Each structure stands twice: as C-alpha cells, then as structure tokens.
Amino acid sequence: MHCLSCDQEIIVEVNWNTLFKPAPEPKLCPSCEAKLERIAGKQCKRCSRLTDQTVCPDCQKWEHHPTLAGALAFNQSVYTYNDFLKEIIAKWKYRGDYVLREAFADAFRDQFNITFKQIKKDAVLVPIPLSDRRLQERSFNQAEALAQVLDTPYQQALTRIHSEKQSKKTRHDRLASANPFQVKTPLNKPVILVDDIYTTGVTLRHAANVLRESGCPKVYAYTLARG
Amino acid sequence: MKSFIHSARSLITPTYEWIPTPSQPSSAPFNDDHASQFHGKLLIREEIPLDDPTFRSYLINQLFTAIPSIEKHLWGHRCRRCGTRAKRHFAPIPCARCDETHVYCRNCIEMGRVLACEPLYYWTGPSPNWSQQDHACHWDGNLTTYQQHASDQIVKSMTTPKAELLCWAVCGAGKTEMVFAGIAALLEQGKRVCLATPRADVVRELVPRFRTAFPHTSIQGLYGGSEQKDTPGQFVIATTHQLLRFAHAFDGMIIDEIDAFPFHHDPSLLFAANRAVKPTAARIYLTATPRKQHRKRVRAGKLATVFVPVRFHGHPLPVPILQLCWQLKKDLAKHQPPKAFFTWYKQRSHPDRQLLIFVPTIELAEKLTRTLQKYFASSGQTIKSVHAADHDRAEKVQQFRNKAYNVLVTTTILERGVTFPSVDVVILDAGHHVFDEAALVQIAGRAGRSPKDPTGEVVFFHDGKTEAIVKAVKSIEAMNKRGRRL
C-alpha cells in the first residue's frame, strides 16, 4: 500500500486485532493524514467556518442580500481548506487525478451521516454541475464524484452555463456574477447540494435559489472544504 | 502465442517499436515552423497548441500519427509516456469524454494526464531542415591536456552510431567545456543533440553559456515552467523529466550527473532517456561519482570510459579529514555542534574563507543555525540556512556566492552543481544514511574550486566510520593518485 498523496509506502501495524481481520487499508500515510484538518468544535452554524460566534459576520451579511438571503439553510464542511488540502484538491480537480477522492471518502461519508442523519431520509443529493465544456476538459465532475461516495441517491437536477472559473475571480467579482444555473428536473423534496469547496458561498446560493424557485422546500449544502 | 511471448518480454524490457517512422515528404500543406516545433515530440492533445481544424487536417494528412497511450498486457498496463508498469500508478476513471471507465497514468500526471482513451501524438510529417554550420562552436578558451583528451574521446563517440561513453570527471573538472566540441561535431552535420541534466537550476545556468558558445544554433531550454516549450531547438538543454515528451528525436544525447537524484531513483526517466534518442544515437554520460551498475560495466569493459582525474586548475582534490566525536548524537539532539567543531573552527588555516556546513535533516539545519547564530554573533560572522523547503533558496545561495554572509548551513540539496569560490566544508554526522558515497564525494568537491584558492579544508564529523565514508575517501585518493600518474 502506498500513500495516494506522497507515494510513500505505508506499513500497517499488525496486532492481535488486525491479524485475522485486517483493518481497512489507509489511503494516506500518517504524515499526510496529519496535515488534513477536520473541522470540529465551535463553528458558524450557517457556513461551518471555525469561529466563536454562532453566526459569522459573512453569514450575517448574507441575511441582508436582496436576492440570495435565506437561500441555504446551512452549509457543513469536513475539512479546513489549508495549504495541504489546496494542493490535493488542485491535483485531484485540475490535474485530474481521480483516485485522490479516496483520500477523503471515508471522512466525507462519516461526517455526512452525522450532520444529515435526520435530514437525509427524505432528501435528495444534487451535485453542483460543471458546464459541458469544463466537464470535457476535466473528464469528471468532482462534485458528482463526491456525491457518489455517500449512500444517499443523487440526481443531476441542474445544468450550468459556461463561465470563467470561480477560483480565478475575486470575492467582489463572485458576489456580482450572474446566476449560471438552470433547473433540469424540478424537485419537490429537500435538497442537499454537494460541492468540493465553500469559499464565499455564492455558487451554492445561486444553485439553491433556482432549486427553491422551482418548488424545492429547503436546500442544504455539504462541502468537502471550507475556504 | 506470439502475442503472449511479446507481452511477457515487454514485462522486463519496454519496447519502443511502436514509435512510427516519419513518412516521406507529403504534399499536404503545413506550416514549416511546425516541423521543427513538433519533430521528435510525443505529446498529448493538450500539449499541442493548434486549433481543432488545423490539428484535424494534420492528422488526416498523417503529419501527426496517433499512438495508443497505454499498453494493455496480460500482466497489467504500461504507460507509453513514462514507461511505468506499477499497478498503483494506474487508476480507473469514469471518463466523461468517452463515457467509459478506463485507466489513466498517475505516475506522470504532473506533466498532463495520460488517459487510456486518448492517444499520444507523434510528428510523422517531413523532418525539419536543421542548419548545417561550418563552424558551430565559437568558444575560444583553452582546454587542459586532460580536458582535451576527454573532449577528443567525446567527439569520437558522438560521431559513432550507437556509441556509449562514460566521462568520469572529478568535481570541478570543467565538464561543460569538454562537451562543446562533441556537440559542435553533430550540429555541423545538421543533426540534433540533447544535453539532459536532472536539475532545473543547472538548465537555467547552462542555457546562456551555450547560447554564447553556439551563437548561430537554435537552442531550447526545457524545464518545468520554462517558457520555451514551443520554440524550435536543434540543440535541446533539458531536465531529464522533460525527456518524457520526446521519442526518437536526437542523434546524440549527453546526460549530465547520471548518478544524481532523481534520474538515478526514477526508472521512468531512464525509460524516457532511452526513448528520446534515435536507435542509432550516441550517448555520453557525465559523472564524478558513478553508481554501482556503471562501475560494474566499466570494470567488465562493457562501457568505454574516459577519466579526467584533475581539476581544470590542475590542483588535487581536497581529501576529507575524519574527526571522530563520541558525543555527536547527543550534541546534535541539543542542536549543538560537537566540541571538536569549535576546536577546528578556531584554528583553521584560512579563517577568511566562507564556511559551508552540511547536516542530514532540514529540521537540524534550522535549529543548528539558531544555536550557531549566538556563537558567531560575537565574532561578527553571519549565518543562514537553506534547504529544499525554503522559498528563498535561489536567492540565499546567490547571496552566499556574493559573500553577503559567512556561514551557510544546508542539507544535501547543495551537494552538487553549485560553485562557491573559496569555502571550507564541514559535514556534521557524516555517518548518517543520507550521506552515501556519491554525496560525500560531491560535498568534498565543493572545496577548492577556484584557481585563486585551489585548496580548502573538508572535515567529516562522525561518530563511527561508515562504509560510505571510507569508500568516499578512498575514491578521492584514488582519483588524486591517477591524476599524479598522468
């Protein structure tokens, strides 16, 4: 077994517990695993940012937004978007190293089952789509890949019009950008949006808005990283 | 059955039979520059900066040939770009381009992803007409007798098809000047040459030197992030990683520092280097510290060798002094240099020389620097540390070269390729496993590089001689002996 990130060989300790029933193979070596920061403890109840306040200033501002206020019930993220995760996500998404998903699949599934324990029963997952051009470029949609990890059915209910990469825009540009999403299949169930990174929250709120307009009662967001 | 045997054989040695031979000049219209831009390159579509209609017409007219990118064998896969066949390097991907799940190569993904559903493209149009100069090399310096001898041997090998030559030259022998004539000989015949080196800094340093020496040759410098990817190059100076983008391109290949990381550690670089040259090409290997497999071939008489046992200034190599310190590990755990270090430091023969201290780990480099700062502050000496994780690495090394500070603490990253005119060299914990024989010889070779100060003290502080230390000292002494004899 080799680490998915640094390709070092991982030597698994064998003890009486694992001798007959081997433990699941680790995907990352201990030193890479230690560089991932799970979000735990006090956080903003709306966006999962680590803070002592119950609602962070950014989320308070969102409450006064003319069109996007109240679009999202809340967002839950799994990891802090630190330098190491930035590197891994960049390699996964932009270099297209699909299998790196396995590095955080278990944590992504576990956190989902904790946060959405009640909600997931009658909700449907909707991964944030890529534009067709971007999908051809990357050859996979990272949000869909994440949704597949979860044991709840997902539906490609949205389409996206091609625009410049979000990651290349400033916060101001992002907030001012037009809504790129359209609803393909209207849903009348609660929706949990799945995406890789929550940065400003604009993308997720845009998606939530079009879903709500087409009859969806409540929209949540579940993301891998909180930027 | 035939395919089974073929598959089994390719498990051991990769084949390059799949590389197409360029076709006869076709009548199809194309841009002349593209022949020199794409000739000998093996690229994925994303690396070819042509718009779709142009590219498609080139493909129909067989100017480009598509080659399946990943070989499928009974024993698994092999990536044709990097040659890996390790199972963990091939992962499945549900591909949105072809709507099927297939493998991609993880090993060379940093250079752009190779998908099984997408071919590699190889230029099979007319070969470019490289210029045939009467006199390519305009360098007018003088070579020493030993350099001249090696240079003659290199010219002879370069112009002999399939020749292989190991040039075993001590650190500071002046290797660059020795290859000028060999490169010129091929360029003058209108042939294509490559000089590959494992490190990007060396490429950056060499390109301007060669541009001055070969002013009328198209020279391309390639390394990760270089901006000359699409310019033509009859003479290519590249990192060994960049060879992953070449196939049957060169008539002559010189590999510098063949024993250095990462070339020595990464089998895919050897795969790429072998593929980058034409089957008839000559190969020259330059090294100061050949590894076992090369030495074996030298001893068995299977690899022609030319020795350059003396530095260009004619002085012998400084032989390391071994200093045993019983308390070494204890001292280093407290981030202290051993007592013996201070004793030596106070009575070294040339206190005006700069001091280069090698330590085994990055952590120790940083902590030791802090301890020594206090010690040196009293005598007005300034100290800095530099290691692989350091963002200002290039800048700090340049400052040291400019004598902006006196003492540099570093790890094995500065073991080779860097020249400081007048330094003493110290290794703390020379017995550590990161200091193998090659590293120790290279580190010792940092001292006495300049003709103005051709000697320098080299001290290995250790807590028990290792095989590597003994062998390194022996090999330095052997070279000096060879130099005296000549």
Mean pLDDT within B65-73: 94
Q: Using an 8 Å Cβ cutoff, are A187 and A159 in contact?
A: no
Residue A135 and residue B92: Cβ atoms within 8 Å? Answer: no
Residue B96 and residue A136: Cβ atoms within 8 Å? Answer: yes
Contacts of B92 in chain A (CB under 8 A): 98-99
% pLDDT > 90, chain B: 69
| Gap between the Cα atoms of B230 and B474, Å rounded | 47
User: What is the token pair recorded at A187?
Assistant: 């849903």
Residue B226 has pLDDT above 90, yes or no: no
Mean pLDDT within B150-177: 93
* pLDDT at residue A177, as a whole number: 80
User: What is the token pair recorded at B446?
Assistant: 């940092």
Give the residue from chain B lying closest to A2, CA to CA. B88
Q: Among residues B206, B188, B318, which one has the least CA distance to residue B256? A: B206
Question: Which DSSP helix (H) or strand (E) runs through B94?
Answer: strand B90-95
What residues does B90 pair with on adjacent strands? B105
| Gap between the Cα atoms of A106 and B352, Å rounded | 59
- State whether residue A42 sits within 8 Å of chain B by CB: no
B145-308 and B321-485 share one fold: yes
CATH of domain B321-485: 3.40.50.300
User: What are the domain boundaries of chain B?
Assistant: 2-123, 145-308, 321-485
Q: Using an 8 Å Cβ cutoff, are B456 and B425 in contact?
A: yes
Q: Using an 8 Å Cβ cutoff, are B168 and B308 in contact?
A: yes
For chain A, 227 residues long, give each residue's pLDDT as a single digit of tens: 899 999 988 888 888 888 888 888 889 999 899 999 999 989 999 999 999 999 999 999 999 998 898 899 999 999 999 999 999 999 999 999 999 999 999 999 999 999 999 999 989 999 999 999 999 999 999 999 999 999 899 999 999 998 877 777 788 887 778 899 999 999 999 999 999 999 999 999 999 999 999 999 999 999 999 98
* Alpha-carbon gap: B99 to the closest alpha carbon of chain A (Å): 9
CA torsion angle A53 A55 A60 A66 (round to 10): 170
* pLDDT at residue B440, as a whole number: 95
The pLDDT-based confidence of B381 (bands split at 50, 70, 90) is confident
* pLDDT at residue B14, as a whole number: 85
Residue A96 and residue B95: Cβ atoms within 8 Å? Answer: no
* pLDDT at residue B486, as a whole number: 63
Residue B213 has pLDDT above 90, yes or no: yes
| Gap between the Cα atoms of A48 and A115, Å rounded | 11
| Gap between the Cα atoms of B280 and B229, Å rounded | 26
* pLDDT at residue A8, as a whole number: 87
**Minimum-distance CB partner of A139 among B92, B110, B115:** B115
* Alpha-carbon gap: A8 to the closest alpha carbon of chain B (Å): 12
| Gap between the Cα atoms of B113 and B171, Å rounded | 38
Domains parsed from chain A with CATH numbers? 1-34 (no CATH), 39-226 (3.40.50)
Chain A interface disruption, residue of B106, B114, B115, B266, most A CBs within 10 A: B106
Residue B109 and residue A141: Cβ atoms within 8 Å? Answer: no
Residue A99 and residue B97: Cβ atoms within 8 Å? Answer: no
Mean pLDDT within B64-82: 93
B437 — alpha (psi -120 to 50), left (phi > 0) or beta? Answer: alpha
Residue B26 has pLDDT above 70, yes or no: no
Contacts of A146 in chain B (CB under 8 A): none
| Gap between the Cα atoms of B198 and B261, Å rounded | 7
CB atoms within 10 A of CB B375: 15
Segment B289-321, tens digit of pLDDT: 999 889 999 999 999 999 999 999 989 999 999
Residue in this structure with the two tokens 């490289």, named with its chain if needed = B130
Give the residue from chain A lying closest to B99, CA to CA. A139
Q: Using an 8 Å Cβ cutoff, are A6 and A30 in contact?
A: no
This complex has an ipTM of 0.91
Give the residue from chain B lying closest to A132, CA to CA. B96
Give the Å distances, CA to CA, from A80 to A52, A225, B65, B416: 16, 6, 46, 39
- Residue A89 contacts by C-beta under 8 Å, 6 or more apart in sequence? A81, A196, A197, A224, A225
- State whether residue A138 sits within 8 Å of chain B by CB: yes
DSSP designation for B465 = -
**DSSP state letters, B215-277:** TTS-EEEE-TT-S-TTS--SEEEEEGGGGGGBSS-EEEEEESSTTSTTTTT-HHHHHHHHHHE
Pick the CATH number of B145-308 from 2.60.40.10, 3.40.50.300, 3.40.50.2300, 3.90.1170.50: 3.40.50.300
CB atoms within 10 A of CB B152: 15
* Alpha-carbon gap: B46 to the closest alpha carbon of chain A (Å): 9
Mean pLDDT within B281-286: 95
Contacts of A3 in chain B (CB under 8 A): none
Residue A98 and residue B93: Cβ atoms within 8 Å? Answer: yes
* pLDDT at residue B408, as a whole number: 94
| Gap between the Cα atoms of B84 and B77, Å rounded | 8
Contacts of A97 in chain B (CB under 8 A): 91, 106, 109, 113
Residue B326 has pLDDT above 70, yes or no: yes
* Alpha-carbon gap: A100 to the closest alpha carbon of chain B (Å): 10
Q: Using an 8 Å Cβ cutoff, are B67 and B228 in contact?
A: no
% pLDDT > 70, chain B: 99
Contacts of B97 in chain A (CB under 8 A): 136, 139
Segment B109-125, tens digit of pLDDT: 999 999 999 999 999 98
Residue B330 has pLDDT above 70, yes or no: yes
* pLDDT at residue B256, as a whole number: 93
CB atoms within 10 A of CB B399: 16
**Helix/strand/coil for A68:** coil
Contacts of B96 in chain A (CB under 8 A): 135-136, 138-141
> Residues of B near A (CB-CB distance < 8 A)?
88, 91-97, 104, 106, 109-110, 113, 115
Residue B246 has pLDDT above 90, yes or no: yes
Q: Kindly report the average pLDDT of chain B as a whole number.
A: 91
* pLDDT at residue B24, as a whole number: 63
Contacts of A135 in chain B (CB under 8 A): 96
| Gap between the Cα atoms of A186 and A164, Å rounded | 26
* pLDDT at residue A1, as a whole number: 84
